[in-house]
Structure 1
Amino acid sequence: MKFTNLPHTNIKVSKICLGTMTWGRQNTESEGHEQLDYAFNEGINFIDTAELYPVPATPETSGRTSEIIGTWLKKTGNRDKVVIASKVIGRTSDYVAHIRTTGFSPLSIQDAIVKELKRLQTDYIDLYQLHWPERLTNTFGKLDYKHDPNDTWQDNFNEVLHELDKHIKAGKIRYVGLSNEKAWGAMRYLEEHKMNNLPRMITIQNAYSLLNRTFEGDLAEVSIREGIGLLAYSTLAFGMLTGKYTNGTADSNSRLNRFPQLKRYSGERTRKATEKYVQLAKDYNISPAQMALAFVNQQPFLTSNIIGATNLKQLKENIDSVHINLSEALLSEINTIHQTTPNPAP
């Protein structure tokens, strides 16, 4: 395994982070424990979860993923050997109203942390992230920002950091990060940190893959110059980049077959681009999944690549991508495809 540091800390984390959002719906508790055992034995020490998980979220399952991690921690006694990242839900919508409806208010953050610590059966969370912005902005598949004059959100960056600071000082969380954030929001949090001696956002967990390289715009520069490491998610685009949906080999439990309402990676442009990437991987005698993941692993702004799997065969293939270095010739051909079909699945 290869390791990096969480920016501005001495915490070493594996370059591959174990994603968990299928546990509790697509995967049982025993399967989650099996994945944790395998990943841990392969050198992975970084685990990502959220109070929302598993996804798609339902009132019956929300929080179940973290409970599965919690029972594994209790069973193995590995808490001091792993780094755990979790998240608090952002702006309220019907999709998450069953969790709470009060956004990033102080009481919301307090409630979220207390409940997540109980689910995880731990006294602290290493990295606590804001799952998505409260303001209306272009997240989750929206490419361009369109200002909504009816957005009632009020600038509360300072208040949010003050509340997070309380929990850092109380020892309940160690560091804080962002997720699904944009360049303006990231810089506003940094401004509050610098001006008011408040906690620094050290990571940003955003979608990044061969099909969605929008991070390479303004956020890549913010990441490198300000030291906010990318925790890349959806790096296989819900499994699309494995080629199994374009070649018809995806089974009934695969994500897009089981949840057809998840359309972010199902468009025609996405399929055409995927076919080109899959053929390119074959030309270089690399599995499409490992080529896609290795591309992410080699980015200069990456702190860790969050991989997910529903079985051990997938998990092994995904973890092994850390040992692959893509040649300059292959990277050049990847960029040629990107130029002809840029960001088909933002």
Structure 2
Amino acid sequence: MDHRRLGRTDLTVSALCLGTMTWGEQNTQQEAFAQIERAKAAGINFMDTAEMYPVPPRPETYSATETIIGNWFKARGDRADWVLASKVAGPGNTINHIRQAPLKHNRKNIVAALDASLQRLQTDWIDLYQLHWPERSTNFFGQLGYQHQEQEDLTPLEETLLVLNEQVKAGKIRHVGLSNETPWGTMKFLALAESRGLTRPVSIQNPYNLLNRSFEVGMAEVAIREQCGLLAYSPLAFGLLSGKYENGARPANGRLSRLSLFSRFTRYNSTQTAAANSQYIALAREHSLDPAQMALAFVTAQPFVTSNIIGATSLEQLDSNLASAKLVLSAEVLAGIEAIHKNQPNPAP
């Protein structure tokens, strides 16, 4: 397993990161423990979670994922072996069960969220603490075009950084990251951090996959030049790129098979997405490749990617995803990917 430097820090993280958002909803604690054990044996040292997980966010399951991870640390005593990332939630109409609305990136919310996460995770520190999404209204979670909205009472970005900086000094977190952020937001945070001598964001966690390469348009240069690398989430586009939904198939535990529970992810259901997805799957099979492994290997190989966040609901899926770390795509396969992308760019933003 390749390991890469996290931003400008002294931490190195595995090129694949263990995603956890199914734990407590689609996976039991026992199944989650088995995934952690398997991933660690494969050389993964990086695990990503969030106070909001599991997904979809529901009052009945809120914070179950962090609790499961904390139980693992208590049972195994290997906290020091892991680079642990978590996130503080931002505002949203569907998450009023988290603390007390409105959720903001201010002192009250960040300190309360962080302290609760530390308690659930049964640890004294979080290595990478991320803002899960911006407090302001901007283009994220499937919205490509920016539509400006005047908003009052937004927490100044400098205030958010000041609070995070205090938590770093207190030893509760080691580093700060962004998530679902835009080029403007990323550069603004970086500029404020440097001009005010505050903790500098070391990473950005945004979606990136064969069906959504929008990160390349405005963010890739930022990630490379500012050493604020991408932690790529949804690298299989909600499982579409694995091929398991081809020809109308709906596997029992697949998220797109359970639209009553995962109805918010409509961007994966368009005809354009289905058409492009079928072409990528056909390309993989033409070259005797597993479609999921091809899709993952493409993401991991990008120069702006620090780590590729993989998730699974079974050990078989996890083993397949782990095997992608050894796959090097040929020039012919890469040319085929670019041809499909040129014909149908970013159908699932």
Tell me the TM-score normalized by structure 2: 0.97
Per the alignment, residue 134 of structure 2 pairs with: 133
**Counterpart check, 1:209 vs 2:212:** no
**Counterpart check, 1:338 vs 2:341:** yes
Q: Please list the CA deviations of residues 185-239 of structure 1 after superposition, one character each: whole Å capped at 9, or x if unmatched.
A: 0010011111100110000000000000000011001111111010000000110
**Counterpart check, 1:236 vs 2:236:** yes
**Counterpart check, 1:326 vs 2:329:** yes
Please state whether the residue corresponding to 1:264 is helix, strand or coil: helix
Per the alignment, residue 94 of structure 1 pairs with: 93
Please state whether the residue corresponding to 1:217 is helix, strand or coil: helix
Per the alignment, residue 246 of structure 1 pairs with: 246
In structure 2, what is the Cα distance between the partners aligned to 1:61 and 1:118? 17
In structure 2, what is the Cα distance between the partners aligned to 1:43 and 1:249? 33
Per the alignment, residue 113 of structure 2 pairs with: 112
Per the alignment, residue 284 of structure 1 pairs with: 287
Per the alignment, residue 8 of structure 2 pairs with: 8
In structure 2, what is the Cα distance between the partners aligned to 1:298 and 1:313? 23
Please state whether the residue corresponding to 2:154 is helix, strand or coil: coil
In structure 1, what is the Cα distance between the partners aligned to 2:194 and 2:26? 42
Please state whether the residue corresponding to 1:235 is helix, strand or coil: coil
Residue 106 of structure 2 contacts residue 155 of structure 2 at CA under 8 Å; is this kept in 1? no
Per the alignment, residue 303 of structure 1 pairs with: 306
Q: Letter of the aligned partner of 2:95 in structure 1?
A: V
**Counterpart check, 1:195 vs 2:195:** yes
How far 1:247 sits from its partner (Å)? 3.2
Unaligned runs of 5+ in 2: none
**Counterpart check, 1:145 vs 2:128:** no
Residue 53 of structure 2 contacts residue 64 of structure 2 at CA under 8 Å; is this kept in 1? yes
Residue 138 of structure 1 contacts residue 145 of structure 1 at CA under 8 Å; is this kept in 2? yes
Bigger shift: residues 233-242 or 255-264? 255-264
How far 1:250 sits from its partner (Å)? 3.9
Please state whether the residue corresponding to 1:178 is helix, strand or coil: strand
Q: Count the aligned residue pairs.
A: 344
Please state whether the residue corresponding to 2:267 is helix, strand or coil: coil
In structure 2, what is the Cα distance between the partners aligned to 1:10 and 1:39? 22
Q: Please list the CA deviations of residues 100-148 of structure 1 after superposition, one character each: whole Å capped at 9, or x if unmatched.
A: 3231110100000000001100000000000000110011000100112
Residue 135 of structure 1 contacts residue 153 of structure 1 at CA under 8 Å; is this kept in 2? no
| 1:4-43 correspondence runs (5 A) | 4-43=4-43
In structure 2, what is the Cα distance between the partners aligned to 1:286 and 1:312? 20
How far 1:321 sits from its partner (Å)? 0.3
Displaced runs of 4 or more, over 2 A:
151-155, 247-250
Please state whether the residue corresponding to 2:302 is helix, strand or coil: coil
Unaligned runs of 5+ in 1: none
How far 1:302 sits from its partner (Å)? 0.5
Bigger shift: residues 151-160 or 34-43? 151-160
Q: Please list the CA deviations of residues 155-177 of structure 1 after superposition, one character each: whole Å capped at 9, or x if unmatched.
A: 61110010001110110000000
Bigger shift: residues 201-210 or 325-334? 325-334
In structure 2, what is the Cα distance between the partners aligned to 1:197 and 1:97? 34
Q: Letter of the aligned partner of 1:158 in structure 2?
A: E
Q: Letter of the aligned partner of 2:175 in structure 1?
A: Y
Please state whether the residue corresponding to 2:95 is helix, strand or coil: coil
Q: Please list the CA deviations of residues 39-84 of structure 1 after superposition, one character each: whole Å capped at 9, or x if unmatched.
A: 1111111000000000000011111001111111111111000110
Please state whether the residue corresponding to 2:277 is helix, strand or coil: helix
In structure 2, what is the Cα distance between the partners aligned to 1:171 and 1:227? 23
Per the alignment, residue 218 of structure 2 pairs with: 218
Q: Letter of the aligned partner of 1:194 in structure 2?
A: E
How far 1:265 sits from its partner (Å)? 1.2
In structure 1, what is the Cα distance between the partners aligned to 2:3 and 2:86? 20
Q: How many percent of aligned residue pairs carry the same amino acid?
A: 51
Residue 265 of structure 1 contacts residue 345 of structure 1 at CA under 8 Å; is this kept in 2? yes
Q: Please list the CA deviations of residues 297-319 of structure 1 after superposition, one character each: whole Å capped at 9, or x if unmatched.
A: 11000000000000000000001
In structure 1, what is the Cα distance between the partners aligned to 2:227 and 2:276? 31
RMSD, matched Cα: 1.0
How far 1:249 sits from its partner (Å)? 4.2
In structure 1, what is the Cα distance between the partners aligned to 2:187 and 2:198? 14
